[in-house]
């Protein structure tokens, strides 16, 4: 197995990434134009890699849905209207890159099904809530140079921050200063096949989890508002939402089915164990599967070793997220964040 390239002083080698503004009031068709133009060549290679793993039978379904959406999507309202906006974003990416629209749609749905990583929310030594995560992806070589920092804005003012991937109009990690932060983990559970079922749910007006995160970042103003949306809004694929706020008791892992919350694991400032909560890619009440590669156990050991009275977000990064087996050869980046402290830092790796 390959290992992450490390610097002599310890930790993986870092990669400088660009930052873009995404204007939430701009026409969805042109909203993502700047990063799409910037990453055009990488996006083409990434989509070619993703599509090469998708059976033609599934691709043909996406082609048929694309043709339907081109005709009927402009006539939709409500939640369907929001998915129409997402479809317009895909059209913009397709026209800039020359990638067929159906393949842009396929790749965006595929990305949301394969996110492998831990997310951690903890109470630090100052009794502040801190939040951190790694993001791993199986085709890491194609995604390594596609990461960028996002400021989502309205009327020229920052609304929330996020992490982007070239060619995708979703975000799987966001932070709204003074309000909340969220990270998404894929949930590997007994479930219907991913892509086709996710597409059918989207067709029936459910959210892709990554686009739901952008919606929550724009419309929720408090931890409780974000929690309600993440618990109850319909989604295309099962996942985990790890949510943190600004108060000492504002932290929760939301285990999601497609129609609603399956389980809530809240942070507990009065507990000897649940002052920190974490999520990988299986239900936290189940025994770790072999594929977990001891990541969850390493996270738990690291949290206990650091301890609440010495906890800082930088220690989570250096002593847990950058420590194998939590750090993997396919780790694309880590994020350290705190809505209370207005902290949002992306650590992208070479």
* 258 vs 198: CA distance, rounded Å: 9
φ/ψ (deg, to 5) at 204: -95, 20
More reliable by pLDDT, 336 or 64: 336
**Residue 205 clears pLDDT 50, i.e. is over it:** yes
Radius of gyration of the chain (CA): 19
Confidence check: pLDDT of 319 > 80: yes
Residue 185 token pair: 């983990």
Q: Is 116 helix (H, G, I), strand (E, B) or coil?
A: strand
Nearby residues of 311 by Cβ (< 8 Å), 6 or more positions away: 122, 123, 124, 125, 130, 276, 303
- State residue 73's pLDDT score: 60
Tokens coding 155:
């009327």
Phi, psi (rounded to 5 degrees) for 170? -110, 170
Sheet holding 119-123, edge to edge: 14-15, 343-349, 331-338, 129-136, 119-123, 276-279
Distance (Å, whole) CA 170 – CA 134: 17
Provide the whole-model pTM. Answer: 0.93
Residue, of 165 and 83, whose pLDDT is higher? 165
Listed as own residue / partner, the contacts of 197-204 with beta carbons closer than 8 Å and 24 or more positions apart are 197/236, 197/237, 198/109, 198/112, 198/113, 198/236, 198/237, 199/61, 199/62, 199/65, 199/105, 199/109, 199/236, 201/234, 201/235, 201/236, 201/237, 201/258, 202/83, 202/109, 202/236, 203/65
Strands 331-338, 129-136: parallel, antiparallel or unpaired by DSSP? Answer: antiparallel
d(CA 227, CA 71): 35
- Give the integer Cα–Cα distance in Å for 181 and 173: 8
Amino acid 9: pLDDT? 44
How would you classify the pairing of strands 147-154 and 343-349? unpaired
* Residue 10 pLDDT exceeds 70: no
Q: What is the pLDDT of residues 273-311, one digit of tens each?
A: 999 999 999 999 998 887 776 889 999 999 999 999 999
Q: Do residues 137 and 116 make contact, with C-beta atoms less than 8 angstroms apart?
A: yes
pLDDT of residue 203: 66
Alpha-carbon separation of residue 163 from 46, 64, 169, 226, 318 (angstroms)? 17, 31, 11, 18, 20
How many whole angstroms separate alpha carbon 126 and alpha carbon 58?
Answer: 50
Please enumerate in sequence order all residues whose Cβ is within 8 A of that of 263, keeping only pairs 6 or more positions apart, or say none. 254, 255, 283, 284, 285
**Residue 111 pLDDT > 80:** no
Comparing CA positions, the residue from 296, 107, 294 lying closest to residue 208 is 107
DSSP conformation letters of 202-221: HHTT-B-HHHHHHHHHHH--
């Amino acid at each position: 197995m390959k290992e992450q390239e490390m610097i002599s002083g310890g930790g993986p080698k870092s990669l400088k990434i660009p930052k873009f503004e995404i204007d939430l009031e701009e026409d969805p068709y042109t909203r993502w134009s700047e990063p799409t133009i910037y990453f055009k060549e990488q996006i083409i290679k990434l989509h070619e890699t993703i599509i090469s793993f998708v059976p033609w039978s599934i691709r043909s379904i996406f082609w048929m849905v694309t043709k339907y959406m081109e005709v009927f999507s402009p006539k939709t309202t409500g939640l369907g209207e929001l998915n129409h906006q997402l479809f317009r974003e895909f059209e913009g990416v397709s026209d800039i890159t020359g990638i067929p629209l159906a393949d842009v749609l396929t790749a965006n749905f595929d990305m949301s099904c394969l996110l492998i990583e831990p997310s951690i929310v903890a109470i630090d030594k100052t009794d502040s809530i801190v939040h951190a995560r790694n993001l791993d992806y199986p085709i890491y070589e194609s995604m390594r140079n596609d990461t960028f920092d996002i400021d989502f804005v309205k009327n020229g003012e920052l609304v929330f921050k996020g992490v982007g991937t070239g060619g995708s109009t979703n975000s799987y990690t966001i932070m709204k200063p003074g309000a909340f932060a969220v990270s998404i983990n894929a949930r590997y559970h007994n479930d219907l096949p991913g892509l086709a079922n996710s597409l059918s749910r989207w067709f029936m007006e459910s959210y892709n989890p990554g686009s739901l995160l952008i919606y929550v970042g724009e419309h929720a103003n408090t931890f409780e508002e974000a929690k309600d949306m993440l618990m109850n809004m319909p989604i295309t694929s099962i996942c985990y939402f790890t949510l943190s706020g600004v108060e000492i008791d504002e932290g929760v892992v939301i285990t999601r089915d497609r129609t609603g919350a399956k389980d809530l694991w809240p942070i507990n400032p009065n507990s000897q164990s649940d002052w920190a909560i974490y999520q990988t890619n299986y239900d936290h009440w189940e025994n770790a599967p072999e594929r977990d590669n001891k990541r969850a156990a390493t996270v738990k050991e690291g949290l206990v070793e650091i301890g609440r009275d010495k906890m800082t977000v930088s220690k989570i990064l250096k002593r847990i997220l950058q420590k194998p087996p939590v750090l993997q050869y396919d780790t694309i980046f880590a994020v350290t964040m705190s809505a209370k402290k207005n902290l949002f830092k992306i650590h992208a790796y070479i």
